[in-house]
Chain A
Amino acid sequence: MSEMEARASGAAPVLRNVLVGLMIVIAIVLQLSVAPAFAVRGVTPDLALLVVLAVALTRGGQAGLVTGFAAGVLLDLAPPADHTAGRWALALLIVGYVAGRVREGSINHSSQGRPSAMTVMATVACCAFIGVSIFAVSGLILGEAPLTLLPTVAISVGYDLLLAPLLIPMLLWLLGRGDL
């Protein structure tokens, strides 16, 4: 644990950051171009949110915060987006923060390095709900009101939960590889 921690904070930060950046760009590109083909009633899976979550779970709140913000800004500015910039940034930033807190809590309470699978799933559900809700509610506040909030949020959370068991282990493994 402490060894990994030392590596995470010390060794090759550039490579790590490049890896995270690459993952975010890939996630956003896939989310915008490929995911719509698999949309359930127009709701696509939030791949970027899952990446931010994975980063926060491996690297902690600080990294999750910054990654979330960066991914959110990119998502706000990427082509089909026409909403007020800063909405996804805020949502993903909070997601990164919350997931980071979960990691710290689980590490502080249990001697295990990694949070358990159940914790991860609960975090995914919670963070997906928080992220999509923040995005939707900020739209409500800014007057870009979506019409049906709850069903969309519910489908989105369900979809993210469905994808999480497939993607999160892969992302965690990739991020772990990046540490080496």
Chain B
Amino acid sequence: MSLLSPRPSERLRKGLDQRKGPKPPSRTPRERLNRRGSLETKAVSGPKRSWLIALILCCATLATLDQTPVLEPARTAVGEALSPLETGAAMIARPLTGVPEWFDTRDDLRDRLAHLEAENSRLRRQVEVTDYGRAKLAEYESITRAAEDLGYALVPARVTAHGPAQTFNRTVTIDAGSAAGIKSDMSVVTGDGLVGRVLRVTKTSATVLLIVDAASVVGGRVGGADRGDKHSGQVGMVRGSGVVAGQADSGLLSLDLVDQTAAPLKGETVVTWGDGRAAPYVSGLPIGEVTDTFASVRDSSRTVRIKPYVDFGSLDVVGVVVPGDTLSDRAVVTPEGELR
């Protein structure tokens, strides 16, 4: 019965009804009721297919239009209209939105509290050590870079103790020893330049004599450009002043040149000279730069003062120059800048 198609006249009438919207006043509800009563199935026939198709096409059109900014005004308008309502609804419903929390048990809350406390302390610790960690990372990076620049394999180590100033020795202890492949007389560097040499080693630590110590003597070479008839590369001995802080020349080094007539210019770099492998110092490690030159009339010598590149007051991570095939209990930074 439901499959019966409406008669053409019925269909026409229905179409007219829907097109006109409200019923024409000429027809009373009762008249319609009677007709419907005889043809009840048609009263609830499905929506017109054309509407379905038209509205689906509308959706497609909307989706297409939305690829362009055409719909923005509509979005804005709807937003303007609905936002106050949403705000109001959210405000009114605020007591209700807390309802799900009522079902939290005390154990839940206690767990959450413990979790948050743990997280809090972890984060606090992280914040406290962030700067230190960053500095440490920079140090390690500079050691890696130094190994690359210098072309030597390095064993990284941390400075664990500074010798007291009242002994007038400038020594430090590092936390790498013979187990890390370190032997006495090896050169110690940072990313900035030469630090000193290893005096003696234990299994897990080593004592380093800094080049600012008064007893330290390093072979140095002034590495500037050749000027006219004078060749650069004069050699001499770099001695530490051994002077503790507080005096004008504290922390400075002096270079006694072999050739007394040579006069290095201010700002020229002084590097070590040596045979490259053997102790005490490998060659080519930067020591410092020339600050001034003065001649001593009394002993007819010429002294060059050098400001070291390394800040000895804040030594932390250093590298010990080792032969490339050293066996170590820790990572060795190879000349290629990799860890081995």
Interface of A toward B, CB cutoff 8 Å = 2-3, 5-6, 10, 13, 25, 28-30, 32-34, 37-38, 60-62, 64-66, 69, 72-74, 76-79, 81, 84-87, 89-90, 93, 97, 100-101, 103-104, 107-108, 138, 142
Interface of B is mostly: helix
A86 touching B61, Cβ below 8 Å: yes
Q: Given A6-B29, A85-B65, A89-B58, are A34 and B96 also a contact pair (CB < 8 Å)?
A: yes
B52 touching A97, Cβ below 8 Å: yes
Some 15 contacts from A to B, beta carbons below 8 A apart, are: A5-B44, A13-B22, A32-B86, A37-B99, A61-B46, A69-B58, A77-B79, A79-B79, A84-B63, A85-B71, A86-B60, A87-B59, A89-B55, A89-B62, A104-B44
Which chain A residues border B58 with CB–CB below 8 Å? 69, 86, 89
The 6 closest A-B pairs by CB, nearest first: A37-B97, A86-B62, A61-B47, A86-B63, A62-B47, A90-B59
B74 at the interface (CB under 8 A from A): yes
Q: For residue A11, which residue of chain B has the nearest CB? A: B29
Bitwise interface map of B from 23 to 40 toward A, beta carbon under 8 Å scored 1, else 0: 100000100110011001
B262 at the interface (CB under 8 A from A): no
Interface of A is mostly: helix
* Complex Cα–Cα for A69 and B22 (A): 22
The stretch among B87-95, B215-223, B329-337 that forms the contact with chain A is B87-95
Q: A79-B82, A93-B59 are in contact. List 18 more A-B contacts (CB 8 A).
A: A6-B32, A29-B85, A30-B89, A33-B89, A33-B90, A34-B90, A37-B93, A37-B100, A60-B46, A65-B47, A65-B51, A65-B55, A74-B78, A76-B62, A85-B65, A85-B75, A86-B63, A108-B44
Which chain A residues border B105 with CB–CB below 8 Å? none
A79 touching B86, Cβ below 8 Å: yes
* Complex Cα–Cα for A25 and B23 (A): 29
Which chain A residues border B61 with CB–CB below 8 Å? 86
B85 touching A38, Cβ below 8 Å: no
Task: Name which of A10, A28, A76 has the most chain B CB atoms within 10 A of its CB.
Answer: A76
